[in-house]
C-alpha cells in the first residue's frame, strides 16, 4: 500500500504546487495592474488622449465624464496644448459619437476648438489607440498622456507600446467603479485581457 501511495502523493503535491504557482502569478498580475493604475506619470507632452467610454445621446456617462474632466485638468495645467478625444458611435441610433460628446463638453469649459482633435471610428481600446496614432502622424505629434480609469491604464499603456506610441499614463484620480463588486469585476476583466494580449504577442512572434 505504501508503494502505491507514493506516486499518488507526489502527484497531489505537484497539483498543489502548480495551483499555488498559478495563484501567485494571477495575484502578481493583478497587483501590477493596480500599481500601474495608481501611478500618475503626467508631464510635458504634445497631446492628452482621453480614451472613449459610453455616452448617452449628447451627455457623457459618469465614467466618461470623469475621464474628460481629468483630461481638461491636465490641459488647463499646461501639460499639453492639444486634446485628443476618442470613441465612435455607441449604436446605430446614436446621434453623436463619444468623441463628439467629449468635444462639446470641452468647448463649454473654455477649451478652444483649435486645441481639440477627435476620431469617431473606434469602438474598442485598441481601436481608440490605432486612430490616435493616425491623428498623431497627421499632426506631427509625438509624446502623449493617456487618460483612462486606473484599472484600465495598464492595458492602455501596453497597447500604446505595441503600436509604437510614446505614452505616459495619467489615470483619473477617482473612479466610478467604487463598490467592491464593480472593482473586482473590472480587475478580473483586466487580468483576462493581460493574458489575451500576452497570447496575441506570443502568437505574432511565432509567425
Mean predicted confidence (pLDDT) in 143-163:
96
How many angstroms from the chain centroid is the CA of residue 95?
Answer: 25
Question: Is 140 inside a domain boundary?
Answer: yes
Determine the pLDDT at residue 46: 98
pLDDT given for residue 89 in this prediction = 93
| Pick from 3-17, 50-64, 79-93, 134-148: least confident | 3-17
For β-strands 83-85 and 47-50, DSSP reports them as parallel
Band of pLDDT at residue 179, cut at 50, 70 and 90:
low
Q: Is residue 7 part of a domain?
A: no
**Per-residue pLDDT tens for 26-58?**
999 999 999 999 999 999 999 999 999 999 999
Q: What is the pLDDT of residue 4?
A: 57
Task: Give domain status of residue 107, yes or no.
Answer: yes
In a domain, 81, yes or no: yes
pLDDT at 66 over 60: yes
Residue span of the structural domain in which 81 resides: 40-178
For 69, the 3-state DSSP assignment is helix
What rounded mean pLDDT belongs to the chain? 92
pLDDT at 1: 47
Q: Is the pLDDT confidence value at 128 over 50?
A: yes
Residue 134 belongs to some domain of the structure: yes
- Band (178; pLDDT cuts 50, 70, 90): low
- Rounded to an integer, the average pLDDT of 145-155 is 96
End-to-end CA distance of the chain: 51
Q: How confident is the model at residue 43, as a pLDDT?
A: 95
Any idea what the CATH number is for the domain that residue 104 is in?
A: 3.40.50.620
Question: Cell triple for residue 13?
Answer: 503535491
Sign of the C-alpha dihedral, residues 67, 68, 70, 71?
Answer: positive
Whether residue 96 lies inside any domain: the answer is: yes
- For cell 449604436, what's the residue? 91
Beta-bridged to residue 60, according to DSSP, are 55
Residue 181 pLDDT > 90 = no
Q: What share of the chain is helix, strand, coil (3-state, %, to 5)?
A: 55, 10, 35
Number of domains in the chain: 1
Specify if 79 maps to a domain: yes
Residue 2: pLDDT over 70: no
- Return d(Cα 150, Cα 173) in angstroms, integer: 8
Residue range 108-132: mean pLDDT, rounded: 96
* Three-class DSSP category at 60: strand
Amino acid at each position: 500500500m505504501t508503494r502505491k501511495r507514493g506516486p499518488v502523493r507526489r502527484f497531489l503535491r505537484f497539483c498543489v504546487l502548480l495551483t499555488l504557482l498559478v495563484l501567485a502569478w494571477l495575484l502578481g498580475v493583478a497587483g501590477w495592474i493596480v500599481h500601474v493604475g495608481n501611478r500618475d506619470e503626467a508631464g510635458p507632452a504634445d497631446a492628452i488622449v482621453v480614451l472613449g467610454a459610453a455616452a448617452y445621446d449628447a451627455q457623457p456617462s459618469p465614467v466618461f465624464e470623469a475621464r474628460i474632466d481629468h483630461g481638461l485638468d491636465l490641459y488647463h495645467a499646461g501639460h499639453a496644448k492639444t486634446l485628443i478625444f476618442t470613441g465612435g458611435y455607441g449604436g446605430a441610433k446614436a446621434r453623436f459619437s463619444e468623441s463628439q460628446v467629449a468635444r462639446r463638453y470641452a468647448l463649454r469649459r473654455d477649451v478652444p476648438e483649435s486645441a481639440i482633435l477627435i476620431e469617431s471610428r473606434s469602438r474598442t481600446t485598441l481601436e481608440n489607440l490605432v486612430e490616435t496614432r493616425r491623428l498623431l502622424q497627421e499632426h506631427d505629434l509625438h509624446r502623449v498622456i493617456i487618460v483612462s480609469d486606473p484599472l484600465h491604464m495598464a492595458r492602455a499603456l501596453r497597447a500604446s507600446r505595441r503600436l509604437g506610441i510614446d505614452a505616459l499614463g495619467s489615470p483619473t484620480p477617482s473612479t466610478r467603479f467604487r463598490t467592491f463588486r464593480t472593482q473586482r469585476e473590472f480587475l478580473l476583466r483586466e487580468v483576462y485581457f493581460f493574458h489575451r494580449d500576452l497570447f496575441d504577442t506570443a502568437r505574432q512572434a511565432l509567425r
